[in-house]
Structure 1
Amino acid sequence: MSLRPDLAIIARNVAPGSRVLDVGCGDGALMAALRDQKQVDARGLELDPANVAAAVGRGLSVVQGDADTDLADYPDQSFDYAILSQTLQTTMRPHVVLDHLLRIGQRAFVSFPNFAHWRVRLSLLWGGRMPVTRLLPLAWYETPNIHHVTIDDFRAFVREQGLTVEGAWFLSDGNPARPAAANFFAEHAVFLLRR
């Protein structure tokens, strides 16, 4: 089974034998790949009960929980990596969730859709409506996205918080995009952060 492009980047950059917490782990695809290919001790937190059942069915250690409320229960520095993939924009208080990620893990991977991508801008400019695209397939009233973050917004936030970016990857149509123009051309971003 192949991983979603942002998850593949994360999988390639997690050190073998690490302890990992995957927040918003979905059906556990990344955790299973890390366990099977890198002998990672992976744990997961997932809101959707059907995804929790699918992950547990793969033999993974996943609990049902909410990133906005349940991360406070995890002890400091209990993982080498905390991962938040395609979930940041769905949290009520992303800044608090990120703070917990970097408290719980020595490093944090964060991936998110870029709402400043040219297709999103074009849709707003020409249609005057919130875009519905291949990567953002739901209408504004159905989407779980409540914070529309851009790459430049995230970079500014990281600077303001004094965080260190150890790695940054940008994707368009699942392929690498240029970092210099990522805010315009990249559909997704993946950052590796530490305090």
Structure 2
Amino acid sequence: MSFQRYDYDVIANWIEPGERVLDLGCGDGSLLRHLTEVRQVRGYGVENDPERIVACVRNGINVIQINLDQGLAGFDDGFFDHVIMSLSLQAMHNTQGILKEMLRVGREAVVSFPNFAYWRHRQSILNGHMPVSKNLPHQWYNTPNVRFFTIADFDDLCVQEGIAIHERLAFDEDRIIVDEPNFMASVALYRLGRQVGC
């Protein structure tokens, strides 16, 4: 089982059949297609890359072209059950803003991201090079990533921003990591909500 499939299955388990779902940075729409097939969601994708938008249309996905760093002003408060950002948060300039927007337009947010504190990444840096892996496939000079953060960093940000962590899973490939996830896990998945009273 590849990481991507595992990521999709975890997200699908957090979503009830028939929910309204918004997938931010949806790529070719394959996650939304999966959720439509297994959970019969009513979904929309948001993407800024023209080639990926064409791929979404080919996959039968309703897609809207938006620059996510400018927010989600076109969407009503609480319109979606879940707003998803899978492996794209590290490419956002306005990290705090997009998290707030996700929880404004959705009842819950689901985010996944590569953990830059993963032991193999640390080893790469000790060897004098930026990490390159399946979850970080680009070289330092052509990476779309603009934020380099860890599971511990994200936990701290959630506390600072008043974001409730409903569930967190950390894993390396398809193995769930329970002990020392900030060191042993390559990717983290979070199910987030608003703090009570926010």
Is 2:92 aligned against 1:91?
Answer: yes
Determine the C-alpha separation between the residues in 2 that align with 1:8 and 1:149: 24
Report Cα offsets for 1:166-191 as digits up to 9, x if no partner: 1111110232111x411000000000
- Aligned position for 1:171: 171
CA RMSD of aligned residues (A): 1.4
- Aligned position for 2:12: 11
Structure 2, unaligned runs of 5 or more: none
Is 2:146 aligned against 1:146?
Answer: yes
TM-score by length of 2: 0.92
Determine the C-alpha separation between the residues in 2 that align with 1:61 and 1:157: 32
Q: Structure 1 77/168 Cα, relative in aligned 2: closer, same or farther at 3 Å?
A: same
Report Cα offsets for 1:108-133 as digits up to 9, x if no partner: 001000000001111111x2221222
Report Cα offsets for 1:18-62 as digits up to 9, x if no partner: 000000111111111111221110111012212211111122111
Q: Which runs of at least 4 in structure 1 moved beyond 6 Å after TM superposition?
A: none
- 1:70 shift after superposition: 4.4
| Residue pairs, 1:55-94, within 5 angstroms | 55-94=56-95
Is 2:134 aligned against 1:131?
Answer: no
Is contact 1:117–1:187 with CA below 8 Å preserved after alignment? yes
Structure 1, unaligned runs of 5 or more: none
- Aligned position for 2:186: 187
> Sequence identity of aligned pairs in percent?
41
Determine the C-alpha separation between the residues in 2 that align with 1:27 and 1:8: 17
Determine the C-alpha separation between the residues in 1 that align with 2:5 and 2:99: 22
TM-score by length of 1: 0.94
- 1:7 shift after superposition: 2.3
Determine the C-alpha separation between the residues in 2 that align with 1:46 and 1:146: 17
- 1:144 shift after superposition: 0.4
Is contact 2:8–2:34 with CA below 8 Å preserved after alignment? no
